[in-house]
């Protein structure tokens, strides 16, 4: 059904009436960062008066694609058309001039200025300002698109939802015809989200083209007219929102099931329990971050935690890895309570963590590889207070050779390594600690095929001495590597079953969407 | 034509020197301009400055003596800057060091020098460290910005010093001048004259020895010890520190304590070796110059030594300008500020490359 409709959409400009030509068309757009293919031959049409949702996991290529539309990168292959003519944006200024505007997750507003001043910043139209007139212009604009806001209010006093409206007004005032929203609901309360959706509908009714980037299924279904699913840099499906029967259906379309690569996965005998979580709960102002989470992990197995991003994976990992103490419930690591385990602070034979943010959290960009090795292994290279740098350097050399980290010298600084090589180095470093419990978060996100395969092989090897908790948004990765699968939704465990259980695996999409029935 | 500003991939190799020399030249140019505005000969004024700073052996020697406290304070703040703790309080820690040394000198004047001097060093460093620890504790416990608190404590520290000198420590025989009585001989750091002859070099005092010792300790600590490594890693960001389980709070206390101790040591040496007594004129802003030095030298010990000497020479040169051209003393601080600002502005060119380009012909339909 999806494929059929994809063709239908592509034929639309030819067969449809003349006035629904796409405002913006992407034609076979490809973008590479080094070895990584961020966008692979993407073709999309953005129509006036329609809300198009771009759905995909982190690292699927959504942001790269939109950054090209907004003029921050140029495509390596393919081209962008605006109103039927080919364009090339060298700067975001040119994209804005062509009527393409973007609302980023992080707002770019001057807090000490009023709403009207922010909207008209750089567009004052004359040397002298007329505050009353500025307020009137902005007030009229806000009223027309249903964006309730006081033009005289100071931006610093506004809520996140109101600030977002200011960003939208900036684009509307610049006569943007295409408005791109990057995860716009991430900072909003439920009420503000509803108000935003009303405004989106109002803008689209007045002929604006809206692009809505998200990985939240319900939101996409409630607001979008058309949905394009992005996975690993490609458009995996494009269909009308009305064709989607349920969030579960959409989740299935989003995470996919194709196995790209094959790795040798031999069974490893299961050992003792290395991680035991009971009734783990955590609350925040917005509600439960973790809700009675419980599971065991044994040496020799990989337990995959899957779910749409932002459903509790982050607080779970931060608790297990010692950043935040458990609020209520028990966490036992290697048979010790959380507080005893982290009071001990053992560097070897304990827990190793491969975080999602390998460039900002797992490594220091300005330090060389030896220093980055020492970051988590310094206790192993200390003789009293003295640091044995010579030995650390030779160990770093061994890791670089064994894991084929390019460029192959230890004096390279972390920022000089590509994402894949950095990840191989982080894995090598963490495995050097001989962990008995390994937590890997999105370990292959943004990596090329070869690096992905290498990382998978290492994770499988790690089972011989450790239990592995694999947190991933990529279902094919989870199915390929794991022994058991745990599905999370809104901080709850929706299901925990063997990866070989075909019946349950079939239901993963539904579980990820919060449907337990 | 448009200016294209883009981020550099790597530091330009030789460009660093060009940028630094260019910034220095620009700063001197600005100062020459200010001399002109003040109705003084611009080039002549700069000539007096250079003549005064580098012209005679005794001015070089004077600069070397002034460089000692600047170098020590600068190492102290550089240590804090390494982990992005912005210790602006070297001046106050220096003042407390002077107070600590004076307390020991006045209270235990009867002890022989071999006992009294170490006691003075200890009490100076302890008080300096204490003054440095106050902003550290405030930051860790209450989240108070250490820039503000350490800066404010400078004024408190100077007031403490003045309170003592104007009050309970004032020498009854000083005809009302705010100063303590002269330290006993055992409390004064000796001159090298005895071993180096009566020539100019003989005016150097043994306090100079503290500089290579402190510099060596600084390098070894940062380069060879576990704590030194953890400190540098913390400077890369608090998030990484949490991931790597670095003892962030302990390190904040450590660097502020050590930084304060180094500034306190500088205050002790300056009081004991240069003045031989405590008086308010011991506070001439070395603690502020030290911040400029640390920043210009990018926190590395050899460049700190070199820059400390250079800015000390600048002070000596400005003294000559004061005498010959009746330039106000504040001119020295203006020059210091101009150099720092120009170098900071110049660092923009180290991070970004700037090119001129004609606007590309647009492919967009009109």
Residue of B nearest to A346 (CA): B245
Q: Please tell me the predicted confidence (pLDDT) of residue A259.
A: 46
Q: Please tell me the predicted confidence (pLDDT) of residue A21.
A: 81
Of A90, A375, A389, the CB nearest to B244: A375
* CA–CA separation, A210 and A215 (whole Å): 16
* CA–CA separation, A163 and A108 (whole Å): 9
Give the residue ranges of chain A where pLDDT is below 50: 1-18, 259
Report residue B164's pLDDT band, with 50, 70 and 90 as the boundaries.
Answer: very high
**At which residue do the structure tokens 């003393």 appear?**
B329
Of A327, A306, A320, the residue nearest A489 (C-alpha): A306
pTM given for the model = 0.74
Spell out the domain ranges in chain B: 41-326
Strand A24-33 with A36-46, pairing: antiparallel
- The domain defined by B41-326 folds into ABC transporter involved in vitamin B12 uptake, BtuC (1.10.3470)
Which of chain A's residues have a Cβ under 8 Å away from the Cβ of B227?
Answer: 385
Which whole number is the average pLDDT over B21-45?
Answer: 89
* CA–CA separation, B340 and B342 (whole Å): 5
Report residue B333's pLDDT band, with 50, 70 and 90 as the boundaries.
Answer: confident
Of B226, B233, B240, the CB nearest to A385: B226
Domain A257-350+433-517 classified CATH 3.40.50.11890?
A: no
B56-61 LR contacts (CB < 8 Å, sep 24+): B57/B200, B58/B200, B59/B313, B59/B316, B59/B317, B59/B320, B60/B313, B61/B200, B61/B201, B61/B203, B61/B204
Which of chain B's residues have a Cβ under 8 Å away from the Cβ of A361?
Answer: 239-240, 243
Of B229, B236, B362, the CB nearest to A366: B236
Please check the confidence at residue B363 and state whether its pLDDT lies above 60.
Answer: no
Q: How far is B205 from chain A (nearest CA, A)?
A: 33
Report residue B11's pLDDT band, with 50, 70 and 90 as the boundaries.
Answer: low
Please check the confidence at residue B302 and state whether its pLDDT lies above 90.
Answer: yes
Report residue B229's pLDDT band, with 50, 70 and 90 as the boundaries.
Answer: very high
* CA–CA separation, A476 and A257 (whole Å): 5
Assign residue A183 a region (left: φ > 0; alpha: ψ between -120 and 50; beta: otherwise).
left
Of A323, A355, A378, the CB nearest to B229: A378
Which whole number is the average pLDDT over B305-311?
Answer: 93
Residue of A nearest to B236 (CA): A364
Of B223, B240, B364, the CB nearest to A87: B364
* CA–CA separation, A82 and A77 (whole Å): 17
ipTM of this complex: 0.78
Spell out the domain ranges in chain A: 1-99+177-189+207-244, 108-176, 257-350+433-517, 359-419
Within 10 Å of residue A265's Cβ, how many Cβ atoms? 15
Of A94, A365, A387, the CB nearest to B226: A387
Q: Please tell me the predicted confidence (pLDDT) of residue A255.
A: 66
Instruction: Give the three-class secondary structure for A113.
Output: coil
CATH of domain A1-99+177-189+207-244: 3.40.50.300
Instruction: Give the three-class secondary structure for B322.
Output: helix
State pLDDT tens for residues B59-71. Answer: 899 999 999 999 9
* Backbone phi, psi, residue B282, to 5°: -70, -25
Which of chain A's residues have a Cβ under 8 Å away from the Cβ of B240?
Answer: 360-361, 363-364, 375
| Highest mean pLDDT (candidates A90-104, A406-420, B170-184, B292-306) | B292-306
Of A322, A353, A386, the CB nearest to B225: A386
Q: Please tell me the predicted confidence (pLDDT) of residue A215.
A: 73
DSSP of B25-80: HHHHHHHHHHHHHTTS-HHHHHHHHHHHHHSSHHHHHHHHHHHHHHHHHHHHHHHH
Which of chain A's residues have a Cβ under 8 Å away from the Cβ of B243?
Answer: 323, 353, 355, 361-362, 375-376
Token duo for residue A55: 């759905």
Token duo for residue A482: 């794991």
Is any Cβ of chain A less than 8 angstroms from the Cβ of B230?
yes
Q: Please tell me the predicted confidence (pLDDT) of residue B29.
A: 92
Which whole number is the average pLDDT over B291-303?
Answer: 91
* CA–CA separation, B278 and A310 (whole Å): 63
* CA–CA separation, A458 and A424 (whole Å): 9
Residues B363, A367: C-beta atoms closer than 8 Å:
no
**At which residue do the structure tokens 């068309």 appear?**
A25
Element (H, E) at A496: strand A492-498
* CA–CA separation, A404 and A412 (whole Å): 14
Q: How far is A86 from chain B (nearest CA, A)?
A: 7
Is any Cβ of chain A less than 8 angstroms from the Cβ of B14?
no
Residue A140: C-alpha distances to residues A116, A135, A179 (Å): 11, 8, 19
Find the distance separating the first CA and the last CA of chain A, reported in whole Å.
25
Q: Please tell me the predicted confidence (pLDDT) of residue B199.
A: 64
Report residue B287's pLDDT band, with 50, 70 and 90 as the boundaries.
Answer: very high
Best mutation site among B11, B298, B364, B366 for testing chain A: the one with the most A CBs within 10 Å? B364
Report residue B359's pLDDT band, with 50, 70 and 90 as the boundaries.
Answer: low
- How is residue A238 annotated by DSSP? E
Residues B229, A365: C-beta atoms closer than 8 Å:
no
Is any Cβ of chain A less than 8 angstroms from the Cβ of B9?
no
Residues of A with CB under 8 A from a CB of B: 82-88, 90, 94, 97-98, 322-323, 345, 353, 355, 360-367, 371, 374-376, 378-379, 382, 385-387, 389
Q: Is the dihedral of CA B90, B95, B101, B103 positive or negative?
A: negative
* Backbone phi, psi, residue A257, to 5°: -140, 0
Which of chain B's residues have a Cβ under 8 Å away from the Cβ of A363?
Answer: 240
Please check the confidence at residue B187 and state whether its pLDDT lies above 80.
Answer: yes
* CA–CA separation, A308 and A306 (whole Å): 7
Residue of B nearest to A342 (CA): B245
Q: Exposed, middle or buried: residue B12 (CB in 10 Å: 0-12, 13-18, 19+)?
A: middle
Query: CB-side exposure of B124: number of CA atoms within 13 Å?
Result: 27
Which whole number is the average pLDDT over B21-25?
Answer: 89
Instruction: Give the three-class secondary structure for B320.
Output: helix
Of B299, B300, B285, the residue nearest B335 (C-alpha): B285
Within 10 Å of residue A390's Cβ, how many Cβ atoms? 10
Residue A5: C-alpha distances to residues A19, A177, A232, A273, B9 (Å): 21, 25, 21, 49, 45
State pLDDT tens for residues B72-91. Answer: 999 999 999 999 999 999 99
Which of chain A's residues have a Cβ under 8 Å away from the Cβ of B236?
Answer: 364-367
Residues B245, A345: C-beta atoms closer than 8 Å:
yes
Residue of A nearest to B246 (CA): A375
Q: Please tell me the predicted confidence (pLDDT) of residue A17.
A: 42
**At which residue do the structure tokens 């007004």 appear?**
A169
Is any Cβ of chain A less than 8 angstroms from the Cβ of B364?
yes
Is any Cβ of chain A less than 8 angstroms from the Cβ of B5?
no
H helices, E strands: number in chain A: 18, 22
- Tell me the three-class secondary structure of A39-78, residue by residue: EEEEEEEECCCCEEEEECCCCCCHHHHHHHHCCCCCCCEE
Average pLDDT, chain B: 88
Q: Please tell me the predicted confidence (pLDDT) of residue B42.
A: 86
Please check the confidence at residue B225 and state whether its pLDDT lies above 90.
Answer: yes
A and B: number of Cβ contacts within 8 A: 71
Q: Please tell me the predicted confidence (pLDDT) of residue B1.
A: 57
Of B223, B233, B364, the CB nearest to A375: B233
Of A94, A323, A386, the CB nearest to B224: A386
Best mutation site among A387, A393, A429, A439 for testing chain B: the one with the most B CBs within 10 Å? A387
Q: Which residue has the higher pLDDT, A55 or B364?
A: A55
Residues B224, A389: C-beta atoms closer than 8 Å:
yes
């Amino acid at each position: 059904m999806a494929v059929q409709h994809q063709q239908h959409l592509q034929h639309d400009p030819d067969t449809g009436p003349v006035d629904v030509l796409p405002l913006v068309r992407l034609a076979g757009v490809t973008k590479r960062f080094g070895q990584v293919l961020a966008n692979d031959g993407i073709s999309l049409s953005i129509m006036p008066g329609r809300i198009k949702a771009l759905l995909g996991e982190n690292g699927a290529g959504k942001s790269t694609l939109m950054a090209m539309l907004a003029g921050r990168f140029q495509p390596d292959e393919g081209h962008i058309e605006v109103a039927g003519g080919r364009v090339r944006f060298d700067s975001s200024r040119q994209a804005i001039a062509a009527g393409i505007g973007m609302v980023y997750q992080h707002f770019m507003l001057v807090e000490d200025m009023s709403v009207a001043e922010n909207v008209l910043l750089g567009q004052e139209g004359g040397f002298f300002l007329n505050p009353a007139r500025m307020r009137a212009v902005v007030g009229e604009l806000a009223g027309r698109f249903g964006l309730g806001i006081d033009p005289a209010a100071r931006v610093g006093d506004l809520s996140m939802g109101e600030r977002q409206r200011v960003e939208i007004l900036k684009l509307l005032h610049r006569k943007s015809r295409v408005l791109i929203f990057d995860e716009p609901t991430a900072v909003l309360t439920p009420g503000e989200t509803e108000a935003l959706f009303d405004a989106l509908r109002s803008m689209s009714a007045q002929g604006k083209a809206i692009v809505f980037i998200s990985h939240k299924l319900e939101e996409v279904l409630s607001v979008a007219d058309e949905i394009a699913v992005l996975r690993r840099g490609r458009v995996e499906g494009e269909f009308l929102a009305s064709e989607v029967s349920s969030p579960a259906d959409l989740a299935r379309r989003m995470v996919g099931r194709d196995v790209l690569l094959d790795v040798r996965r031999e069974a490893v005998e299961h050992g003792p329990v290395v991680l035991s979580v009971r009734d783990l709960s955590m609350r925040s102002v917005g509600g439960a971050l973790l809700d009675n989470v419980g599971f065991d992990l044994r040496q020799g197995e990989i337990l995959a935690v899957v779910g749409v991003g932002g459903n509790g994976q982050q607080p779970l990992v931060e608790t297990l890895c010692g950043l935040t103490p458990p609020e209520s419930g028990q966490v036992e690591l290697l048979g010790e309570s959380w507080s005893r385990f982290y009071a001990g602070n053992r560097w070897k034979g304990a827990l190793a963590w491969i975080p999602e943010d390998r460039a900002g959290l797992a490594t220091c960009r300005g330090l060389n590889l030896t220093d980055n090795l020492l970051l988590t292994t310094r206790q192993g290279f200390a003789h009293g207070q003295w640091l044995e740098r010579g030995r650390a350097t030779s160990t770093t050399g061994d890791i670089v050779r064994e894991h084929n980290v390019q460029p192959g010298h230890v004096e390279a600084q972390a920022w000089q390594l590509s994402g894949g090589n950095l990840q191989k180095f982080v894995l090598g470093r963490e495995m050097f600690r001989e962990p008995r419990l390994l937590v890997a978060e999105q370990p292959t996100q943004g990596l090329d095929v070869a690096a992905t395969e290498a990382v998978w092989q290492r994770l499988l090897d790690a089972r011989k001495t450790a239990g592995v908790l694999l947190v991933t948004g990529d279902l094919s990765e989870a199915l390929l590597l794991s022994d058991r699968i745990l599905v999370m939704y809104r901080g709850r465990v929706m299901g925990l079953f063997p990866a070989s259980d075909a019946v349950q695996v079939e239901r993963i999409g539904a579980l990820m969407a919060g449907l337990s029935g | 034509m448009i200016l294209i500003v883009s981020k550099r991939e790597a530091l330009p190799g030789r460009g660093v020197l060009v940028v630094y020399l260019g910034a220095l030249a620009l700063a001197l140019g600005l100062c020459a301009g200010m001399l002109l505005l003040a109705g003084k000969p611009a080039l002549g004024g700069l000539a007096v400055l250079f003549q005064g700073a580098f012209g005679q052996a005794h001015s070089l020697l004077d600069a070397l003596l002034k460089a000692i406290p600047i170098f020590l304070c600068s190492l102290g703040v550089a240590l804090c800057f390494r982990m992005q703790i912005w210790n602006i309080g070297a001046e106050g820690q220096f003042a407390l060091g002077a107070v600590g040394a004076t307390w020991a000198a006045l209270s235990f004047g009867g002890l022989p020098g071999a006992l009294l001097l170490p006691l003075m060093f200890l009490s100076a460093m302890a008080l300096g460290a204490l003054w440095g620890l106050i902003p550290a504790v405030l930051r860790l416990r209450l989240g108070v910005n250490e820039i503000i608190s350490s800066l404010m404590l400078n004024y408190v520290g100077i007031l403490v010093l003045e309170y003592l000198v104007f009050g309970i420590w004032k020498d009854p025989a000083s005809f009302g001048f705010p100063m303590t009585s002269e330290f006993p001989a055992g409390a004064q750091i000796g001159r090298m004259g005895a071993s180096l002859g009566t020539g100019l070099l003989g005016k150097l005092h043994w306090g100079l020895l503290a500089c290579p010792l402190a510099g060596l300790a600084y390098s070894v600590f940062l380069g060879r010890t576990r704590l030194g490594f953890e400190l540098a890693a913390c400077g890369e960001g608090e998030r990484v520190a949490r991931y790597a389980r670095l003892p962030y709070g302990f390190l904040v206390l450590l660097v502020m304590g050590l930084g304060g101790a180094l500034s306190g040591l500088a205050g002790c040496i300056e009081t004991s070796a240069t003045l031989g007594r405590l008086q308010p004129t011991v506070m001439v802003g070395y603690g502020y110059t030290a911040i400029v030095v640390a920043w210009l030298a990018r926190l590395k010990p050899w460049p700190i030594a070199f820059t400390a000497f250079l800015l000390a020479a600048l002070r000596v040169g400005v003294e000559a300008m004061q005498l010959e051209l009746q330039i106000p003393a504040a001119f020295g601080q203006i020059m210091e500020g101009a150099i720092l600002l120009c170098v900071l502005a110049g660092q923009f060119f180290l991070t970004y490359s700037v090119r001129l380009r004609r606007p590309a012909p647009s492919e967009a339909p009109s």
